[in-house]
């Protein structure tokens, strides 16, 4: 796996790990709501889902980092499969965030644009880089 793919997937995983505690534990804080561009109305009602999304993101990050470790210190083919699967998950989850916004589930409307772009570009680049080298 080339360095571009490794850097993009590693950075994506680190971003997910950084956001995990915000989504899972700190979603009720006003500064987190501003950072995630979500409205504070009804946060108490969605904390369960924000916790689960944060946990899923953390698991995807751990899977990605494990795959990168295996690429570099174990069997490259096995590690690449793990990285590709984790990266596909990260990309699709990000794109579904944009779809949720288009369907009107994100308040304020168009509030997911920054997050969708930030969380989909690196996985997309990584997948392209992986495909280009195989």
Task: Reply yes or no on whether the pLDDT at 109 is more than 90.
Answer: no
Residue 39 is predicted with a pLDDT of 86
Burial class of 38 by CB neighbour count within 10 A (0 to 12, 13 to 18, 19+): buried
pLDDT band for position 110 (cuts 50, 70, 90): confident
Distance CA 6, CA 80 (A): 10
Global pTM exceeds 0.85: yes
Q: How many whole angstroms separate alpha carbon 104 and alpha carbon 76?
A: 42
Scan for tokens 């889902």, then name that residue.
49
Res. 41 pLDDT band, cuts 50 70 90: confident
pLDDT at 32: 94
């Amino acid at each position: 796996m080339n360095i571009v793919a490794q850097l993009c997937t590693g950075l994506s995983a680190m971003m997910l790990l950084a956001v995990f505690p915000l989504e899972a534990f700190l979603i009720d804080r006003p500064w987190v709501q501003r950072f995630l561009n979500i409205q504070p109305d009804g946060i108490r009602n969605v904390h369960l889902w924000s916790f689960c999304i944060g946990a899923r993101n953390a698991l995807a990050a751990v899977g990605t980092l494990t795959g990168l470790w295996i690429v570099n210190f174990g069997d490259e083919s096995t590690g690449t499969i793990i990285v590709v699967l984790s990266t596909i998950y990260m990309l699709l989850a990000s794109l579904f965030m944009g779809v949720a916004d288009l369907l009107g589930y994100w308040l304020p409307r168009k509030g997911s644009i920054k997050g969708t772009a930030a969380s989909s570009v690196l996985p997309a680049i990584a997948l392209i880089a992986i495909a280009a080298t195989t």
